[in-house]
Chains A and B, each alone.
Chain A
């Protein structure tokens, strides 16, 4: 998997390149918008991480130019501007996800994985399956080992999101953004409570727990075939 990082801050760039390389990605780095656009249009990448404020050429302009040049690679925007309007502007310019600085590296990694998964060709699925847990998106029904599980609508959406990202870490912020469409941090850790409720419904009575907590990062829904 090959990634392009366009980031002007030297230290931040080094941190990103090192972290991503250690996570098994091949990383190219461009220090400004012009170089970034050149690399982005001349090479094939699986995903790009673009800082919003760049010398020579603004990050949003780089994304617009890439999209105009028919480059459909998923893009994660990094920005110090975190207001809802700023996110909307970023996503409108052609970004696929938006992460506000400063961020935890685990958050960035989880989002990159989600972007790569989204880019993978997927037929319009109506069923998702992890081990013996199966959900039917049309009938909105959930089964585990032939046993029917009753979920509230919000729990269903939570499970659906986790299943779509099975085998990947999803962070609390990602869940708040995608399942609830909230962009603020609730003071109480409400997400944990929702997860533990869902866990009770899908994992109780089974020897293998599918929904795991990843310390310091978030959660992961993982089947046996995803490896130990």
Chain B
């Protein structure tokens, strides 16, 4: 990833904006700390000075000048140090009388109040200039004209030292924090970009044709993982559809090729023979019948593909499953009758599902068709019932059944049981049933119709989600032959 690209990314812009906001608020905080600390130190100094002044004022009131002088002399013993309080008492002409300052610092400011002035201090034989701050008061001495001046102050060197070291500390802290912010922001941005890049790389590889690629997961279950999971689920779905389509085309190619070559051979053969109107007519009729069979197979494959693709899912409306099943049962009732089989319908009238009426009708028709075709004697029962949010369509017959190990395979396209190859059919009926079941979010399964008996028969159950109705089905009605119920 080039730095230029990094700068252009959204993630980086967001990180930079946050960093700027963060820096501004941090500077405001540090400034506040500095100002309030400096203010505190200044007030400390002034308080100390004020206390001294009031103590000296007390001395002065008790015993006038001599006592004051004594007190000052006592306090200002020794050489001048930076932590010492400064004292100076002068007469009205600013001539020093007592104190540790040699002269009045600033002749202009003798009025009572606070003054600041430079102070020469001797440290280890070298004279340094320090800042000092002092309070000045006037004292009226009896019998003298004018005011005596008293100055009490502090060397500010220590306070200034502290202040500058604080500024330095705060500056370093700011630099360090900003550096951490920049590094963290870059790290986060890079991290985010890496994961977006992973998605991009995967999609590029897929677009180049490698459909097995999937977006990697970080395992953190965050938004990126959710995105990746959804993308992968979508890719799985697309791959399933694609392989389904491929299978359909493969099967169409495979299973239409045989009848097509048969058709072609028949026509060619007819052409080779001696011209004879009757024979030609027969060959043409057979060819048309062959073409019709081909079309039926083709249509069945397309229906399956359509159901499998689930293209119409969003258009599914609520339908009455009982009515749908009854209508199909009515269509097949004469067929059963003709074969001497009883077609029994036990339909719960309150079962509703969200589905495609045409495809569901076709699925039920295929199930009934199979049951009637393979049951030599006995009955075929069509049941519609609902339980625990599912709608069930069951077709139970008394025929030979399907061996347990082939109950999966019979749903595959063009699969036909050994014994049934002589019966007409294209081996697509159950494939459609399964495709329709899946399209409706359901499933289809096979079991013995009457378990444990010599001729178990077969029960095929189509299960799809039911629409919840306020009124729960009370009871499945008693099975009754069609027409009389």
Interface residues, chain A, CB within 8 Å of chain B? 82-85, 102, 104, 152, 154, 180, 182-188, 190, 193-194, 197, 216
Contact = CB atoms under 8 A, between A and B. Distances in A.
Contact of A193 (B291, B335, B362, B425): B335
Contacts of A216: 285
A190 B429 contact: no
A193 B306 contact: no
B306 A188 contact: no
Nearest to A154: B330
- Tell me if A's interface is mostly helix, strand, loop or mixed: loop
- Tell me if B's interface is mostly helix, strand, loop or mixed: helix
Contacts of A182: 331, 358, 361-362, 365
Nearest to B373: A188
Nearest to B426: A187
Given A83-B306, A154-B330, A186 B369 contact: yes
Contacts of A104: 288, 292
Contacts of A184: 299, 303, 358, 361-362, 365
Interface in B295-337: 295-296, 299, 302-303, 306, 312, 315, 327, 330-332, 334-335
A187 B366 contact: yes
A85 B356 CA distance: 11
A104 B288 CA distance: 9
Nearest to A195: B334
Interface residues of B, number: 33
Contact of B299 (A152, A180, A185, A197): A185
Contact of A180 (B312, B327, B366): B327
Contacts of B426: 187
Contacts of B424: 187
Given A184-B303, A186-B369, A84 B358 contact: yes
B296 A185 contact: yes
B338 interface: yes
A102 B306 CA distance: 19
Nearest to B483: A152
Contact of A102 (B295, B362, B366, B429): B295
Contact of B365 (A186, A193, A197): A186
19 contacts: A82-B302, A83-B306, A84-B358, A154-B330, A182-B331, A182-B361, A182-B362, A184-B303, A184-B361, A184-B362, A184-B365, A185-B296, A185-B299, A186-B365, A187-B424, A188-B372, A193-B338, A197-B334, A216-B285
Contacts of A186: 331, 365, 369
Contacts of A187: 366, 369, 373, 424-426, 429
Contacts of A180: 327, 331
Contacts of B299: 82, 184-185
Given A184-B365, A188-B369, A85 B315 contact: yes
A82 B358 CA distance: 13
B197 to A, nearest CB: 41
Interface in B326-367: 327, 330-332, 334-335, 338, 356, 358, 361-362, 365-366
A190 B361 contact: no
